[in-house]
Structures are given as C-alpha cells and as structure tokens.
Chains A and B, each alone.
Chain A
Amino acid sequence: MASVAPTVEFDLDQISLRELNQFLHHDLGSGDHVEITHPNGRHSIAVGIDADVDVQIRGHAGYYVAAMNKRAHVTVHGNVGWGVAENIMSGVVRVKGNASASAASSGRGGLVIIEGDAASRCGISMKGCDIVVGGNVGHVSGFMGQLGRLVVCGDAGAGLGDSLYEAVIYVRGQIASLGADAREEPLSKSDISALVELLDQAGFAHEPSEFKRIASSRTLYHWNAAHLGSYG
C-alpha cells in the first residue's frame, strides 16, 4: 500500500485485517485519511492506532473496534460489537449506530460518542475518558468508574454507577435504578460547563439543565463488613 496518498482505501473483503492494522501502525503518512469498507462485523478493526489520522469505517464493526486508540479520529458508520474503544487513551471514536456491551471500558482519555444506544456496562471501569451516548445505556453502566464523564442523553438501565469512584455520570432521561454507593447530586456550574462542552463536541442539542448528576457517595471507599446493611 502506498503511504503517501491522502486517502487510502481498504476493502476488508479483499485484504486481511492484519494488513490493515499493520498499515495503521507502521505505514501511515502525514495527513492520511483512511476509508475502510466491508467491515462486516469483523473484530479488532483499527485497534491500537497511535497517529493523527482520520479513519472512516463504512458499515457494522465487531468487537474492540478502535480499542487502545491514541490521537486518531475513528468513525464507524454502523453498529459496533463489545468493547468499542476499549482502553482509549486519546482521540475521538464516534459510532453512528448502536454499541454493544462495555463501550469505552477502562478508557483513560479521549472522547467516545455513541449516537444510538449503548448496551450494558457502558464505561465500565472508565479511568479518565469522556463518553457521550445519544440514546440509552444498559444495566450496570459506569460500574467502578474511576475518572471521566459519562453523558447519557436517553435512559439508563438498572444499577447505574454501581461502586463508582470519581467518574461522574449525567443522565437526561429515566434511571431504572442506581447501583450501590451511587447518588444523585445537584448540578453545579462546572457540571453545566462540562455538559455544554461535551454535548457540543458530540453534536447533541440538549439543554444541560435537563440532566441529573450521578456521583459516588464515597461510603464504599473504606468498606466495612459491620456496615453491610447500609450499602446500596
């Protein structure tokens, strides 16, 4: 593959996933724009990129698409399987459709936008990334979130924010139930600013004051068996 052309096209029905990912890891030229066609739900597409590159995936992707992403902007024009942008470090991953379980799990930085719904465990163990979901999230989303912001424009499933550390969750719709140690808190000015910034980046025109703030009540930081009955 030529590495100097501004637009490089990969048809995954014609070349192997390994060739694609090796190109993305080793052969990118500056300013490259990469188009990927016929993803057909394959796993591990465009994982581990560490470059300022724009990647467009035209169709549905499988598990771990754009996992471990650094700096790159990856857009999936379809749905994605489990673990999209897992462990994202920086950059932007946008999903135009729905995401399966564990979207942006363990993400340390960057922004993940799911325009549709995200399934269960969205943002599980997030460690500093931002996530904006245009639709709903499934159960136990934000579980053990340590740092970062999860914005849900729709509804949240059961057990939201269970065992939260310092990640903050904003929900515009209904919350089926909060998880252990998660609580609703009043929106501050800095929350409004954060929501304005994140909704603007994601391209969603919602009123920030419509969101609820969910954060840790910090009673599980020092877990005590004698207080078992008071948790959750």
Chain B
Amino acid sequence: MCGIVGLLVKRAELRVRLGEWATPMFVCMADRGLDSGGMAVFGSAQAGTRRMSLFVGDRQYDWQRFLESFRRAFSTDSAEILGVENHGILITSVAPPRVKTWLAEFDSALLVLSVGRSMDIFKDQGTAREISRRYRFAELTGTHCVGHTRMATESAVTPAHSHPFTAGEDFCLVHNGSLSNPYMLCRMLEKQGVHFDTDNDTEAACRFIEWRLREGDSLNLAIERAFEELDGFYTLLMATTDAMTLVRDAFACKPAVVAETDDYVAVSSEFRSMAHLPGVAEAKIFEPQPETIYSWRV
C-alpha cells in the first residue's frame, strides 16, 4: 500500500492556499504509508535560474556556510539558498552539471533530489505529519503539487527511495503499486545511457517516461508506450510545469479518486483525504478508468 495525493489550483488568486489545502490530504494518506513521505511543488520559474532541491542526513546542516562556499567557488553573488534543517533549495544561474560536480567534491553527503526551473521536491523517511511540519508544507504556494506516503513493499526505506521520483528537469512521478519488470526496464534504459540513483521500481517507470519525452514523444505517447512496457500494478500521478497527469493500470488495481471544482482538481488514493476541501460536496467526483490518461493543465 501507499498513498498518493495531488492538487492543482486553477484560479491564480487561490494559489497561495495550495499548501494549506494539500497538507491535510498528505497527512491523512499517511494511513496508507508510514515509512516515508514526500511532496513536489510547482511555482513560477525565475528567468535564467534553476532550482536544485538538496537533501542531507544532518538535521542541523549549516546552509549559510554552504551558500558562502558555493558563491566563492563560482565567484557569484546571485545564488540563494532556502534551507530548512536537512533540506535546501539552491537557486542559481550556474549550469546544473557544474553544480553537481562541485557538490560531489564539496560534501558527498549531499543528495540532489531534483533540478528544474519551477519544481521543488521535499522527501524523507518518517511520517507525513512530521515531514509536513518540518518543511512547512502548509505554507507552500504554487500552481500544483503531488505527494506520496510510502509503505515499502520492495527496495530499501531511505530518503532516496522515497517518492516523488524525478528525472530530467521539472518532471516528477509518484506511484501506488508495484512493478514486476523494473530490472528489465533498467537494463534496457542503461544501454541508452540512462543513469539510476536507486533500485526502486518507481524510478524505473519515472526514467522510462522521461527518456521517451527526451526522445521526442509527447507525454501522452510516452504513457501509451509505458502501458505496453510496464508490467505490474500502478496508479501513477505525474506532474510537469504546466500539467498534472494521472493513469491507472489495465486492472485499475490500485485506487484513485478525482474531485474537480471551478477552483481546483484534487487527486487522492481515497476520498476521505479530500473531505476538508472547500466546495467538495458539490465537486465532480469520479474514479479514473483503467489505461486512460487524465491530464489537467495549469
């Protein structure tokens, strides 16, 4: 079991409430997964800069010292860091490959959770309540977010094995279910030069779809190919800068429910996590059909 949640706020003036509405969804779905939790949130991009979400085991990490070292190394004054305990968002115009090389030399304990222009990822072991408190999810603002509460049924319980997974830039995926052919996908993708961070089955699905996107497929075509290649059970919720996309496997083996109003689209494993949303009593509520692509644009 695992829990997935997603919220896309349609009206610009309500985007300040993204975290306030999404956090109770995330915390409620901890009943489906207490091992780890995570959230990806999308906001507006800042011209010429990228955002890198960084994770480190040390809860008292000195992010100010990190920033000073970064600025010295790249002779720049423009980089910023948004650090909370063991999580930092580095905002910089330095190209990501150069940053990654420097990070590995500066402190090998640092883990890059995501790279993008509009996406931040937070994830760690522990309960959704503790993770959302620590990273102040209730204060998050933005266009849309996807979250996951994990109960591991394969591969280790570590921050890196937690969801959301990401590949490339500004693309993330959360998964409820289990795949039976992740190693086959990994072997195929590694031959294409794709690098894996973990042995998690969801990472295989995430990197497969992102690889197809890089090869020129539209997201819909990439998902159609995934229907053919992924063997197993899955409800997948994906997000890019401009859309949130949901699919279920051919047997609709894992749950999902959607509630849509003029103000938002909410997706969750279970309705009860959405019961607090304003206007949900009048929302259009439905369960997604198997092997059907549902996508909502920002």
Residue positions of A touching B, CB distance < 8 A: 40-43, 59-60, 62-63, 79, 81-82, 98, 100-101, 119-120, 138-140
Determine if B275 and A40 form an interchain contact, defined as CB atoms under 8 angstroms apart.
yes
Chain B interfacial residues counted at CB < 8 A: 16
Bound Cα distance from A40 to B285, whole angstroms:
13
Given contacts A79-B285, A100-B287, A119-B287, contact A139 B271 (CB under 8 A): no
Closest CB in chain A relative to B122 CB, distance in Å: 26
Q: List 19 A-B contacts (CB under 8 A).
A: A40-B272, A40-B275, A41-B270, A41-B274, A41-B275, A42-B272, A60-B285, A62-B270, A62-B272, A79-B271, A81-B255, A81-B270, A98-B285, A98-B286, A100-B257, A101-B252, A119-B252, A119-B287, A120-B251
Residue positions of B touching A, CB distance < 8 A: 251-252, 255, 257, 270-275, 281, 285-287, 289-290
B contact residues around A98 at 8 Å (CB):
285-287
B contact residues around A60 at 8 Å (CB):
271, 275, 285
Bound Cα distance from A30 to B266, whole angstroms:
43
Give which listed residue, A41, A120, A140, contacts B271 with CB less than 8 A: A41
Determine if B251 and A139 form an interchain contact, defined as CB atoms under 8 angstroms apart.
yes
Give which listed residue, A41, A79, A100, A139, contacts B290 with CB less than 8 A: A139
Bound Cα distance from A41 to B289, whole angstroms:
20
Closest CB in chain A relative to B211 CB, distance in Å: 30
Give which listed residue, B271, B287, B290, contacts A62 with CB less than 8 A: B271
Determine if A82 and B252 form an interchain contact, defined as CB atoms under 8 angstroms apart.
no
Closest CB in chain B relative to A11 CB, distance in Å: 14
> What residue of chain B has the Cβ atom nearest to residue A97's Cβ?
B285
> What residue of chain A has the Cβ atom nearest to residue B286's Cβ?
A98
Bound Cα distance from A162 to B60, whole angstroms:
58
Given contacts A60-B275, A100-B287, contact A139 B252 (CB under 8 A): yes
A contact residues around B271 at 8 Å (CB):
41, 60, 62, 79, 81
> What residue of chain A has the Cβ atom nearest to residue B280's Cβ?
A60
Question: Which of B271, B287, B290 is packed against the most chain A CB atoms within 10 Å?
Answer: B271
Bound Cα distance from A59 to B271, whole angstroms:
12
Determine if B272 and A43 form an interchain contact, defined as CB atoms under 8 angstroms apart.
yes
Bound Cα distance from A197 to B273, whole angstroms:
39
A contact residues around B273 at 8 Å (CB):
41
Q: Which 8 A-B pairs have the closest CB atoms?
A: A41-B272, A40-B275, A41-B271, A41-B275, A62-B272, A120-B252, A119-B287, A60-B271
